[in-house]
Amino acid sequence: MCRTFTFALFFVLLGLLSSAFAEAPGGAVRFVQNKGQWSPEVLFRAELPGGFLFLKKQSLHYVFYDTETLDRLHSGPVNQTAARTAAPPERAEPLVNAHGVDVQLQNSLPTAQIESKNRVSEHHNYFLGNDANRWASAVPAFGEIIYHDIYPGIDLRLFAYYQTMKYEFLVKPGADPSVIRLRYDGASSVRSEKGQLVIETSLLPFREEKPYSFTEKNNKTTEVPADWVLEDKTATFRFPNGYDKQQPLTIDPTLIFSTYSGSVSDNWGHTATYDNDGNLYTAGTVYGTSFVPTTGAFQTRYGAEMDVAIMKFSPDGKQLLYATYLGGATGETPNSLIVNSKNELLIYGVTSSANFPTTASAYSRKFAGGTGYIPIGNGLPEPGSLFGTIYFRTGTDLFLANLSTDGRTLKSSTYVGGSANDGINVADQYLGIYNYGDDLRGEIMVDKNDNVYVATVSFSADFPVTANAPQPRLNGPADAVLLQLSPDLSQLRWSTYFGGSGYDVAYALRIGASGSLYAVGTTRSADLPGMAGAFKPAIGGREDGFLVKFTNNQLERSTYLGTTADDAAYLIDLDPQENPHVFGLTRGTYAVTDSVYQNARGSQFIHALDPTLSKTIFSTVIGSGRVGPDISPTAFLVNECGNIYLSGWGGNVNIRSANVNSSTRGLPVTADAFRRTTDGSNFWLALLEQGGKSLLYATYFGSENPVGRGDHVDGGTSRFDKSGVIYHAACACGGTTFPATAQVWSTTNKSPNCNNAAFKFDIDRLKATFDAYQGTQKDVIQGCTPLTLNFVNTSEGGITYAWDFGDTGTSTNPAQVSHTFDKPGEYTVTLTAYNRLTCKRVDVAKKVIKVFPANFKISKDTTICPGQSVQLLAEGGATYAWTPTQGMTTATVGNPVVNPTQTTTYSVKITNENGCSTTKNVTITTDDSFRPVAEVRLSSECGRPMKVELVNKTTGATGLAWAMGNGDTLRTNSPEPYQYPQSGQYEITVTSSKNGCSLALNLPVIIENMSEVPNVVTANNDGKNDVFNVGFTGAKLEIFNRWGKLIYRSENYTNTWGNEAPGGLYYYLLTTQRGTQCKGWVEVLE
């Protein structure tokens, strides 16, 4: 069977929460503000390893306690029976050694302004004692506290640092750090050791490491050497090398705390429940909520420091919604939780406090008390000394309390009890089957009208019962008691004993749809009332379980459940037909009906009867087959289709009870179990098919290798909701191996001892879910045609799946499938998950996919002439965004004009009014493939005009024209050599053409025609041939006489020679700028 698990698990760390959210995201320590819940001199309180820090106006007050004693009180062996029956002597009351050190900020300023920073999202509520003026709600917690100007120009900053706290002094420029003086009042001694301060206490020392100091300038940190200076018990700072007092200085000591175990204070998990939104509630006992900042060595009564802590977590376990503390001057425990129709939490427990917080309209505000009692734990550190988890020194009464949805208001709270102990099951004295924690069982429930019901036990002969009670008197040493109170806990509407002449205790109850009350428990009475017509009217041995039904406040019927050996009925639930199902333990051979799942010699039984309690529907046993019960039952459910859920724990802690063979080894697990192996001290969760026909699922859960004690619960109820999700409290001990999901409020147990580890585990989950992806984009539910989506199956608990895409497309792919929607419209995509073994059997998930028409168009690719503009065109959108924008008129319209300088591809994102968008491209090709390429080659000869050769290297052109710069144009691709009639500078323009486009190339030339050089000069000033005129400039001229003598030379001849030369024949050598030489003669005539 394929299963997918979802579970959230997180360490509640109640002890930390009592003063500091040590494992809350964002920091190790939280400074909780005092809003009246603590002594008035305390401003804030934080929890440290093995102690507390109280922030006062001018001092830091540390209190440390003996963590080893706390450990022993929780985990010691079971005490002798004699210790249970009478009030223990005063000397035997559990005491915890403690020591307080008040670090006085000597000569500090009382006017310092205190700033709190980094407030966390959770809030705390404190209902401690019966003085409502001392109650505090919505108490904030912070990650940082700053004392501004605690000394002149000096601030003191305290802040969370990993799992502890740091402090530092911030010295402003010009301030004097020598005024800082720390006096350790209450310390046994203070000494200097290797640069550190060692502060001795009666427990263990703590240290102030050598101070680290530094200045900062221009973002550069410079260390400033610093030392402690100790005089008696007063410490100051010394800076042997000095420092730049114009710069701010930070003095950063480091505190190192020592404890016996390195732990924070222990807290123990008792009970858990849920609300309609899937939030998880857990409650337990926590140490130290009322600690007073005392100086020096002292002792505190252990029970006086134990209170109830209740926490509410978000459904995914990532957020602590509130933490509420409830208690009085002595001890109390929470035994059971339930939420009413308003999502308000109701707590049932027992208290020994005469000042337990009660409300004005309570049914009873008077503590009746009883005799001293020590429940679970009961270590024996030395002969004659009695220890236990909680010392109920003045006996016990029941308490019931109702919290508002945010935990800030104690809406109602009341005592219920007589003059003897109530709510305490002295199982080890009277019963043959009992587990660790069975002292503190019992259950609270509500009906459809939010009336409150409790099943428990009482030793009181004057326990309050109503006039219509079916059994108004106590018959045995202790009887079960069943009671109903009004929703506001102001009226006791119905209350009765139930029992015979022996010892009787009720563990659990349910209210049927008919209004009938069903309860189960254990009895040593052979004369229980109401047995006429019962399934089993006579007790089988010395001890049986019992099931009783009350209708219209009257006893309808009861029945024994058991064998000839010892048996106990622990939990009950009703199926939709109101058939009661009972989960219990046996030391005998419990009857098993046909066609059910069973384990041979199993010691855990499930027994279903009809509503009249006269007939068996089915019964079976589960277990390892070893002698005696394997586990202590914790939660039980029968859901709407009759499937049966059960959970329990076993192992090291429980072997101190009567169930000495308790272990989770050998219990059945299924192939798809979350965990198939156990170390023997874990939780076990199971699911049976309706009627007990088969084992649908079973798994171990908990720590991999719990240190010493193992996973367990310190009494109390946990619950399944009707969909099969279990909400469970746990006491997980030692280390960090208890499984935890990522990003939950706390993932580790910071104590080597025990902490409440609440978990939420879905055994029977069938949930169809899927995601829609377009590429890597998740949660796509709309798009344009054609729309291709990838649907990914994220369902849980299904075996087979069916997809329907709403357009005739289907698939049975269990993982993921791709589908294309070709036409516009709305399509409902449906994923159906099937699992016949779950109660739900079928679950359906749907998403509506909107597919919009996408009539997007863009102009075709175009070729243009170089330098030409062109208009682009995109259609179908409400908005447009073109790139690149260079050379574009407007980039946000559908028809921009562009003038590209080269071939360019333009992209446009088109978005229509439905938000549909696409990106399209158009390429504008600038065709310069016909660009003219040509060169001019010149040749000249003396006495002849210069020849111009035009060389065409152009390709791709369809036409070519040569404009010679003198008005002549040659229209041919291969022109003949050209001769200019006159010398001079000319620019030849070559124009190529193709498809109506043209490009031009300019070629400058200098023409030097040698044919223009004269051979006669007539120097008669008639303006004709007066000088030797060569027809061009820039040439070199040399003149020789007839005998070859050079008579004239000019490097840049400008037509000036000859008019002054004597007549005769001369020879010349003319060299042009191009290097052409021309030789000749010229005659000068006079």
Residue pLDDT, tens place only, 741-757:
544 444 444 444 555 56
In the predicted structure, residue 1012 carries a pLDDT above the cut 70: no
Q: What are the phi and psi torsion angles at 69 (to 5°)?
A: -65, -40
Predicted pLDDT of residue 1011: 60
Q: What CA–CA distance (Å, rounded) separates 624 from 645?
A: 18
* pLDDT of 928 over the 80 cut: yes
934-1007 CATH pick, 2.60.120.380, 2.60.40.10, 3.40.50.2300, 3.40.50.170:
2.60.40.10
Segment among 454-458, 558-562, 737-741, 881-885 with least mean pLDDT: 737-741
Do β-strands 234-238 and 874-875 pair in parallel, antiparallel, or remain unpaired? Answer: unpaired
Point out the least confidently predicted range of 5-19, 593-607, 798-812, 1030-1044: 5-19
**Distances, alpha carbon 30 to alpha carbons 45, 210, 975, in Å:** 8, 25, 96
Is 69 in contact with 150 (CB distance < 8 Å)? no
- Tell me which range, 95-99, 571-575, 1018-1022, is most confidently predicted by mean pLDDT: 571-575
Confidence class for position 766, pLDDT limits 50, 70, 90: confident
Instruction: Supply the pLDDT for residue 989.
Output: 95
| CATH topology classification for 1014-1085 | Immunoglobulin-like (2.60.40)
**Taking residues 365-392, what's their average pLDDT?**
64
pLDDT tens per residue across span 688-739: 999 999 999 999 888 776 555 677 787 889 998 888 888 887 765 554 455 5
Distance CA 616, CA 301 (A): 51
pLDDT tens profile 403-430? 999 999 999 999 999 999 999 999 888 9
CA distance 600 to 616: 20
pLDDT of residue 1029: 84
* Alpha carbons 941 and 933: distance in angstroms, whole number: 28
Residue 138 binned pLDDT confidence (cut-offs 50, 70, 90): very high
Give pLDDT tens digits for 483-540: 999 999 999 999 999 999 999 999 999 999 999 999 999 999 999 999 999 999 999 9
Q: Phi-psi region for residue 965, left (φ > 0), alpha (ψ -120 to 50) or beta?
A: left
Q: What is the mean pLDDT of the chain?
A: 86
Q: Rg (Cα) of the chain, in Å, rounded?
A: 49
What's the whole-number mean pLDDT along residues 950-965? Answer: 91
Taking CA atoms, 264 is separated from 73, 209, 521, 749, 901, in Å, by 15, 21, 37, 10, 75
Residue pLDDT, tens place only, 784-814: 888 999 999 999 888 899 999 999 999 999 8
Binning pLDDT at 50, 70 and 90, where does residue 25 land? very low
Q: Quick check: 828 pLDDT over 50?
A: yes
3-state DSSP assignment of residue 63: strand
The total of other beta-carbon atoms located within 10 Å of residue 596's CB is 18
Q: Looking at residue 708, what is its pLDDT?
A: 56
Six-digit token string for 476: 């045995």
Across the range 272-293, mean pLDDT stands at: 82
835 CA to centre of own chain: 31
Residues in the chain: 1086
Superfamily of structural domain 770-852: Immunoglobulins (2.60.40.10)
Domain boundaries, the chain: 1-416+423-430, 770-852, 857-926, 934-1007, 1014-1085
In sequence order, what are the residues at sequence separation of 6 or more whose Cβ sits closer than 8 angstroms to the Cβ of residue 714? 268, 269, 270, 284, 285, 333, 376, 389, 436, 437, 440, 731
Determine the pLDDT at residue 230.
94
Cβ–Cβ < 8 Å for 391, 375: no
Q: Decide if pLDDT at 383 tops 70.
A: no
**Residue 394 pLDDT > 70, yes or no?**
yes
Verify cis geometry, omega within 30 degrees of 0, for the bond prior to 786: yes
Kindly state the average pLDDT of the residues 644-650. 93
Query: 786, exposed or middle or buried, with CB in 10 Å at 0-12, 13-18, 19+?
Result: exposed
Say what the pLDDT of residue 413 is.
98
Interval 435-482: pLDDT, tens:
988 999 999 999 999 999 999 999 999 999 999 999 999 999 999 999
Phi, psi of 389 (to 5 degrees): -65, -40
% pLDDT > 90, the chain: 57
- Is 80 exceeded by the pLDDT of residue 386? no
Estimate to the nearest angstrom the gap between the alpha carbon of 229 and the chain centroid. 45
Residue 635 has a pLDDT of 94
Average pLDDT over residues 903-930: 90
**Using CA atoms in the order 435, 437, 440, 446, what is the torsion angle rounded to 10 degrees?**
-80
Structure confidence at residue 9 (pLDDT): 41
Q: Which amino acid is at 824?
A: P
* Angle, CA of 720, 12 and 165, to the nearest 5°: 170
Q: Which residues contact 231 (CB under 8 A, 6 or more apart)?
A: none
Same fold, 770-852 and 934-1007: yes
CA separation, residue 502 to residues 477, 478, 854 (Å) = 7, 8, 84
Lowest pLDDT segment from 343-347, 692-696, 963-967, 979-983:
979-983
Looking at domain 857-926, which of 2.20.25.90, 2.60.120.1570, 3.40.50.300, 2.60.40.10 is its CATH number?
A: 2.60.40.10
Supply 807's token pair.
């357009």
List the structure tokens of 881: 């965004």
pLDDT over threshold 80, residue 226: yes
Which range is most confident: 729-733, 769-773, 1033-1037?
A: 769-773
- Summarize the confidence of residues 1074-1086 as an average pLDDT: 83
Q: Is 60 exceeded by the pLDDT of residue 377?
A: no
Residue 224 has pLDDT above 70, yes or no: yes
Alpha-carbon span 639 to 688, nearest angstrom: 11
d(CA 548, CA 526) in angstroms, rounded, equals 15
The span from the CA of 456 to the CA of 506, in Å, is: 5
Confidence of residue 1077 (pLDDT cuts 50, 70, 90): confident
Q: From residue 201, give the alpha-carbon distance in Å to each of 185, 190, 333.
A: 11, 9, 32
Model pLDDT, residue 906: 96
pLDDT of residue 287: 66
Closest CA to 269 of 455, 139, 440: 440
C-alpha separations of 35 from 134, 135, 139 in Å: 8, 8, 7
Cα end-to-end distance, the chain, whole Å? 133
- Average pLDDT score over residue span 1029-1047: 86
pLDDT at 103 over 90: yes
pLDDT value of position 298 = 66
pLDDT at 3 over 50: no
The alpha carbon of 365 is separated from its chain's Cα centroid by a whole number of angstroms, namely: 42
Say if CB 470 and CB 554 are below 8 A apart: yes
Query: Please, which pLDDT band fits residue 15 given cuts at 50, 70 and 90?
Result: very low
**Three-state DSSP state, 837:** coil
Q: How confident is the model at residue 291 (pLDDT cuts 50, 70, 90)?
A: low
Q: Between 736 and 1026, where is the model more confident?
A: 1026
The alpha carbon torsion through 773, 774, 777, 780 (nearest 10 deg) reads: -70
pLDDT of residue 94: 63
* Sign of the torsion formed by the C-alpha atoms of 105, 108, 114 and 118: negative
The mean per-residue pLDDT over the stretch 98-123 comes to 93
- What pLDDT, on the 0 to 100 scale, is given for residue 267? 59
Say whether pLDDT at 642 is over 80: yes
In this structure, what token pair is assigned to residue 313? 């977590």
pLDDT at position 51 is 83
CA atoms 744, 748, 750, 754: torsion sign: positive
pLDDT on residue 384: 34
Q: Is the pLDDT of residue 905 over 90?
A: yes
